[in-house]
Amino acid sequence: MKISVNYKSGQRQTFIVPKTMLATDFRNLAEEIGGKIENIEFSLEDQHISLRNTELQESLHLTE
């Protein structure tokens, strides 16, 4: 999974992270590498994730 981290210093770093890595472990690692974090952006390039999101949206529309 690709994760982009924007640091308070203005720097931006993109990481390739295994899906099995805990979010807290990743955040600690990213802070050790670049300092204080402004925000984190997750890339949803995986076909299965996109499909699940589409299915969820469709099911929400069906229940309205």
Do 6 and 34 contact (CB within 8 A), yes or no?
no
pLDDT per position as a tens digit, 20-38? 999 999 999 999 999 999 9
Q: How many domains in the chain?
A: 1
For the chain, the straight-line distance linking the first and the last C-alpha, in angstroms and rounded, comes to: 33
Report percent pLDDT > 90 for the chain. Answer: 56
Distance CA 9, CA 41 (A): 16
Is the pLDDT assigned to residue 18 strictly greater than 50? Answer: yes
Report percent pLDDT > 70 for the chain. Answer: 67
pTM of structure: 0.64
Q: Give residue 46's pLDDT.
A: 52
Give the pLDDT band of residue 1 (cuts 50, 70, 90): confident
Q: What is the dihedral of CA 17, 18, 20, 21, to 10 degrees?
A: -30
**30: containing domain:** 2-63
